[in-house]
Every structure is written in C-alpha cells, then in structure tokens.
Amino acid sequence: MITLNINGKARQLDAPDDMPLLWALRDVAGLVGTKFGCGMALCGACTVHLDGAPTRSCVTPVSAAAGKKITTIEGVAATRAGKAVQSAWRKLDVVQCGYCQSGQIMSATALLATNARPTDDDIDAAMGGNVCRCATYVRIRAAIHEAATALA
C-alpha cells in the first residue's frame, strides 16, 4: 500500500513500488485522462506533474512519486495556468483526434507556470517531447500564446 497526493487529495493505492505511475493512476486510482502512448517516455501522452514539473508517468515508478504532489489532467483545471490553457485549447479548436491532448496540456501548463511570456523557441523547447500525430503544432503554439495573454 502506498499513499500518494493526487490532485490535492491523499489516496492510498494498493500498487507495487515498481509499478509505473501511469498504471497506478489509470488502473488503481481510476484516473484515465492520462494516456499510454509509447511506454518509453518518447511521446508525452502520459505527462503528469510531480511537484509542478512535467513528468512522463509511463517510466516513473510509483515509489518515486511518494511524498510529491501529483497533478493529472483531471486536476490541472484547479490551477490558474491550467484553466487558461484549457480555455485557449477550446477557443482555438486545437484538438483533432485528442489522444495526445492531456499530455500536451500538462506540458503547456507547466511551461506557463514558470514562464509567463514564452517565445516560440521556449514553447518548442517545452513541448518538444510531446508528439501529436495529427500535427496540430501550429494551433498548440497559438493556444499557448493565447493562454499566456489571458494570464497576463
């Protein structure tokens, strides 16, 4: 049994220490917004925040998350940056298939939480590990700029 702080609430999960955090969140905690993409931390679909930092949950053992604040796509709207990013995503109609969007939103939110006025280069660097098979990168960048403007 491990206790994790998920979206501001202490949760006891019956999960082995070496279970990837992704599967503890999805299969044990029932939070299915975080997606499995590649299983090797290459696509970003599984991105969550650990103490505010974007983290690939598919390769992070659940034991590494103990004592840290875990934020998933289900909880990110409770943050100012998360609300702004999700609003911009809707306003600019970023989503096509939608599979990568939870990871994209989590990375964008982490960026804006630390950089209120990102340049295109800042956005490219922060989002570089997130793959969108539908290639909505131009809309993703525009939405991040829109969210930054809303936060200003």
| Confidence band, pLDDT 50/70/90 cuts, at residue 4 | very high
Which residue stretches of the chain are H helix? 21-23, 62-65, 80-91, 101-114, 120-127, 137-151
pLDDT of residue 100: 94
pLDDT of residue 43: 96
> pTM, whole model, 2 decimals?
0.95
| Confidence band, pLDDT 50/70/90 cuts, at residue 60 | very high
DSSP state of 26: I
**What are 126's two structure tokens?**
């922060």
pLDDT of residue 150: 96
Neighbours of 1 (CB within 10 A): 6
Domains of the chain: 2-71 (3.10.20.30), 76-151 (1.10.150.120)
Q: What is the mean pLDDT of the chain?
A: 96
In 21-85, where do the E strands start and end? 47-50, 53-56, 69-71
* Tens-place pLDDT, residues 20-50: 999 999 999 999 999 999 999 999 999 999 9
Which residue from 126, 134, 80 is spatially nearest to 107, judged by alpha carbons? 126
pLDDT of residue 115: 96
pLDDT of residue 53: 97
pLDDT of residue 85: 97
Distance from the first to the final alpha carbon of the chain: 43
Cα–Cα distance between 82 and 61 in angstroms, integer?
25
Cα–Cα distance between 33 and 25 in angstroms, integer?
9
